[in-house]
Amino acid sequence: MALPLLKSAVACADFGRTVQPYISQLNDLPQQIYQSATDPQALKEIYLNTNPLISAFALSLFLAPIFLIVSEINKNYSQVDRVWSILPTIYNLHYVAYAHAKGLPTQRLNSLAIISTIWSARLTFNYWRKGGYQIGSEDYRWEILRKYINPPLFFIFNVVFISLAQSILLFSVTMPTYILLLSSPIVPADTSDMIFSQLILGAIFLAFTADQQQWDYQSAKKSYRTTAKVPPGTSFTARDLDRGFLTHGLWSLSRHPNFLAEQSVWVFLYAWSCYVTKSYYNWSGLGAVAYMILFQASTWFTELVTSGKYEDYKIYQQRVGKFVPSLLGPGVGDLNEEEEKGKKEN
């Protein structure tokens, strides 16, 4: 049996009943797929007879060595980055497809599938327009890390974190969808689903707005540095563009509003699973927690680089919150005055 027999919403969040009994399926799955590789009907049976969480996890493990091999051959370590915006939606669509195949109620899951697709479209578009899919494109942070980590250690780092841990992470943030699948026959869709859907859509829209503001600024800065003239039609001044980083719009309230929104998407999905199962917390939140930890570390490293590149960034850090806007802090205010004051003191 691929799914547990559950009679209550609370039971849907019970790790011992919904996950632990199926972990052993991982052992036989590779051999089963190999033996049935040329038989579509047999593969369909394997798919339906395997717990959907286990099959999703198996895919994340299968992809890890592919990321490793491709990255080492090309000496380009942004292989996971290229599918970052795609894999979570693939996992979510997998749960939806499985529910349809099993004849389970799918109204809640169908809504999530649409929302997840919108999330992917937004993030994929932004990554594309920044050149992320161009041949040879790589996150600048990997290049910096390679300067400080010797090749053998960096290879281990690639195996453990870049290729494996990140692949599992992109699976883990969608684990609450498995709980929503399990609860679908027990908890009918209601108004709360619309509320959580709107919260996630709101976070996606916030991320899109922040990305667009950053894109407008970087485009204006690029033109300004080429022509030494402020582009016509832009709201930025020469001082803004000389500063080198954006402090307007959402970026006047948060140093990383896009990151705040991105983390919120998966926190809201997790909260959705908690609400449906009438629990204050459940095991599927580990994905969202790991996601936030990664963003904390990544943002720290990004700001370390940025503050070394732009001397006024430290003033910006003192005045504006990293993710959540600071209600008691001074805010971005007249940053120009602070910059002038700092320069005179130096």
From first to last of its 346 residues, the chain has per-residue pLDDT tens of: 899 999 999 999 999 999 999 999 999 999 999 999 999 999 999 999 999 999 999 999 999 999 999 999 999 999 999 999 999 999 999 999 999 999 999 999 999 999 999 999 999 999 999 999 999 999 999 999 999 999 999 999 999 999 999 999 999 999 999 999 999 999 999 999 999 999 999 999 999 999 999 999 999 999 999 999 999 989 999 999 999 999 999 999 999 999 999 999 999 999 999 999 999 999 999 999 999 999 999 999 999 999 999 989 999 999 999 999 987 767 776 665 655 555 555 5
Rounded CA gap, 343 and 346, in Å? 5
Q: What is the pLDDT of residue 90?
A: 98
Which has the closest alpha carbon to 81: 161, 18, 146, 10?
161
Q: What is the pLDDT of residue 327?
A: 76
Measured from the Cβ of residue 114, the count of other Cβ atoms closer than 10 Å reads 13
Residue 247, amino acid: T
Q: What is the pLDDT of residue 342?
A: 53
